[in-house]
Structures are given as structure tokens and as C-alpha cells.
Amino acid sequence: MDLKTDNSAIADESKYKYKRILTGDRPTGPLHLGHYAGSLKNRVKLQYKYETFILIADIQALTTNFEHPEKLKENIFLVALDYLSAGIDPTISTIAIQSMIPEISELTTFFSMLVSVNPLRHNPTIKTEAKERGYKELTYGFLGYPVSQTADIAVFKADLVPVGIDQLPHIEIARKIVRKFNELYSGKLIEPFALIGESPKLVGLDGNLKMSKSYGNAINLSDDFDSVKNKIKSALTDKNRIHPTDKGNPDICTIFSYHKAFSGGDLINETEYNCENGKIGCVKCKENLFNVIKSLLEPMNERRNRYLKNKDEVWDILFDGTKKSRIIASETIKEVKNSMEILYNK
């Protein structure tokens, strides 16, 4: 099966009215500003336009953290808390736990019969992550991650998946797997489309291209303001600027990249001009950014504190969402088995 990608997977709302979104995260730890800028902020908006399902993919988290499954429960709670704090409304969005929907694993198994191993081994995302993690040998679960993702999407009957442009290959893979299933078994599974958003990819505070808790270069959504201030103070800026009056280059400054992601247009333009003309020092620029981030996190903290007073409410939201999701998943797997003629009855 050829898993090469093209732009046919990108949604075109002028031609088709999309109905249901599936999105989610692997619960490997608390979410940070990179997650918010890259996807979570957009999800909060999209939930008012589409029927939204958000999957906490704990099984997929094991593809890179299989040695420590005992951390999953805490991480699931932390991710759910971040969702709710950021503005995901549980009365209109459904949040579910992947491992509590066994139909996903069943559909993953069926889909795995349709995909050859070599294309998965040459998947650019798989190759890049394997290299970053120093993997010399790939586990079956890690290699089959795109197949599992396809099952996530298909079991929810989602026709739209919000992703960054770098994740487009995943959606094209999903479309090809679903298409092959439908052609082989006369199935009616939905081929999903990618909703490409303007989602800036934040670099780490140390200038590393990847923001990650494990690198210690991230501002978590749950960080207190003292931590946020200290992290911003230590962030990498233009190394060539020694004095506040030195002319800087915003394009190579980590702090300015954060301004572009979170500050308003006027402040962005003002910061860029003042930096280029030596009218603002890095210390003041960082103070301005802190005020912006503080304003962003304040309403999140209010919602977070409310949920922390009743942690059972968070779990109730997860369990209720999972129960609702299983109804859809059960319908899908029944249709899949019927198409394959393996729905056994007397």
C-alpha cells in the first residue's frame, strides 16, 4: 500500500459541509504553551462550529512510554484539566479516554491487515521521531502508530481532523487506509479531511526547535506566575545584543516569536520596530511578554482552581464522554464487521 501524500486530504468547506471533528493528545504530561498555540486554542473555537470529540490517547502514549504505564492515570487527569482550563466546554465537546473504548483497538487490528510494513517504516514522522529518541529498533506499537490513529478517526465517524501542515501525511495515510477498506469490503467508512489551521509552532525557551517538558524549555499551562516570569527571564534572545540601545534582529529572538504567537498586532509591530532600532532592551521586552502570558493564563487558572476543588467532576466528565463515545464506536465496529461478513449470528 502506497502511503505517499498529496493535498487532496485538505478540507475545502466551499465544496462540503463538515460535521464532526476528532482531535486529541497523548497524555505524556501537562500541556504547555506550544500545545495551546498549536492546537488547543483552535479547538476551543472549533467546538462552537462542529460536533467535537477529543480523545486522550493513553494507548498511543505507551508507544514511547511503555516502561511507565503507572503514570497514565495522573497524566490523563492533568491533560483533561488543561483542556477544561483552556476553555473546552464539556457541555458541547466530548472528551474520552482511548483505552476505555475497546472498539478502537479492534478496528486497529482490522486496519493493520491492510497496511504493509515498509511504507510505515519510511513514514517521515516515524523516522524523525525514532531518530530524536535514539531508537535503534522500532516496536510494533510505535511503527503502527499511524494505523492506530486511523482507527481513532474512523471509529468516531469524524470527517474533519484539525492538524498542522506538518501532520498532513497522517491524514492522507488515514484516507488511504479507509479507502482501501471501503473498496475491499464495500464499506461506508468516512474518509477524513485535514483542517489546516494557522497554528504557530513555538520553539523552546532555550531556542530549541522543539518545546518539551522533558527538555525543561516549556511554559506549562499550569505553571504559577512566578515560574512563568522566571522562565521568560531565562529565555534565549538575540545573542548579538549587549546593550538595550543595540539594534536587534527579532527574527532570531525566541521572545519575539512568543510575541507573534500571543501578543496583539499593535504590540507585535511596536516590539519589532523598537527591537530593530534599539529602542527597547531585552529585559523590558520580556516583561511585556510576561504581562501578555499572565493575561492569557489568568482565566485558565480560575477555571483550573474550580475543577481542582472537585476532582471527581473531571473524572465524571471523562467517564460520561467515554460512555457517549462508545455508543458511536460500537455502531461503527458493527458496520465494519457487517461489511467484512464477520458479524456472526446463528
Q: Please report, for the domain that includes residue 260, its CATH number.
A: 1.10.240.10
Q: Both 283 and 325 in a single domain?
A: no
Q: Both 113 and 165 in a single domain?
A: yes
Residue 68 within any structural domain of the chain: yes
Residue 211 within any structural domain of the chain: no
Q: Both 189 and 238 in a single domain?
A: no
SS3 12: coil
pLDDT of residue 211: 85
Is the model's pLDDT at 239 over the cut of 80? yes
Q: Both 174 and 234 in a single domain?
A: no
Q: Both 131 and 193 in a single domain?
A: yes
pLDDT of residue 4: 52
Is the model's pLDDT at 152 over the cut of 70? yes
Q: Both 180 and 249 in a single domain?
A: no
What are 23-72's pLDDT values in tens digits?
999 999 999 999 999 899 999 999 999 999 999 999 999 998 888 899 99
Is the model's pLDDT at 7 over the cut of 70? no
Q: What is the pTM of this model?
A: 0.92
Q: Both 80 and 227 in a single domain?
A: no
Q: Both 69 and 158 in a single domain?
A: yes
Average pLDDT of the chain is 92
The DSSP symbol for 10 reads B
Is the model's pLDDT at 1 over the cut of 60? no
Can you give the CATH number for the domain in which 135 is found?
3.40.50.620
pLDDT of residue 169: 83
Q: Both 184 and 46 in a single domain?
A: yes
Q: Both 196 and 294 in a single domain?
A: no
SS3 135: coil
Burial of 68: CB neighbours in 10 Å, binned 0-12, 13-18, 19+? exposed
Q: Please, what is the angle between helix 282-308 and helix 72-86, to 10°?
A: 110
pLDDT of residue 318: 99
Give the range among 11-15, 42-46, 167-171 with minimum mean pLDDT.
11-15
Q: Both 187 and 237 in a single domain?
A: no
Q: Which residues pair with 51 in a beta bridge?
A: 20
pLDDT of residue 167: 82
Q: Which amino acid does the sequence have at 342? A: I
Q: Both 282 and 329 in a single domain?
A: no
Residue 300 within any structural domain of the chain: yes
What are 171-217's pLDDT values in tens digits?
999 999 999 999 999 999 999 999 987 766 789 999 887 888 778 89
Strands 20-25 and 193-196, sheet pairing: unpaired
Is the model's pLDDT at 3 over the cut of 80? no
Burial of 116: CB neighbours in 10 Å, binned 0-12, 13-18, 19+? exposed
Is the model's pLDDT at 13 over the cut of 80? no
pLDDT band at 144 (very low <50, low <70, confident <90, very high): very high
Residue 346 within any structural domain of the chain: no
What are 280-307's pLDDT values in tens digits?
999 999 999 999 999 999 999 999 999 9
- The CA distance from 296 to 306, in Å, is 17
Residue range(s) defining the domain that contains residue 93: 7-201+310-340
pLDDT band at 17 (very low <50, low <70, confident <90, very high): confident
Is the model's pLDDT at 81 over the cut of 60? yes
Higher pLDDT, 139 or 125: 139
Per-residue pLDDT, averaged over 237-252, amounts to 90
Residue 1 within any structural domain of the chain: no
Q: Which residue has the cell 503507572?
A: 70
Higher pLDDT, 242 or 99: 99
Question: How many domains does the chain fold into?
Answer: 2
Q: DSSP secondary structure string, 207-249? A: S-SS--GGGT---BTT--HHHHHHHHHTS---TT--STTS---
Is the model's pLDDT at 157 over the cut of 90? yes
Q: Quick one: which of 203, 195, 206 has its CA closest to 161?
A: 195
pLDDT of residue 201: 78
Q: What percent of the chain lies above the pLDDT cut of 90? A: 73
pLDDT of residue 5: 47
pLDDT of residue 199: 66
pLDDT of residue 273: 95
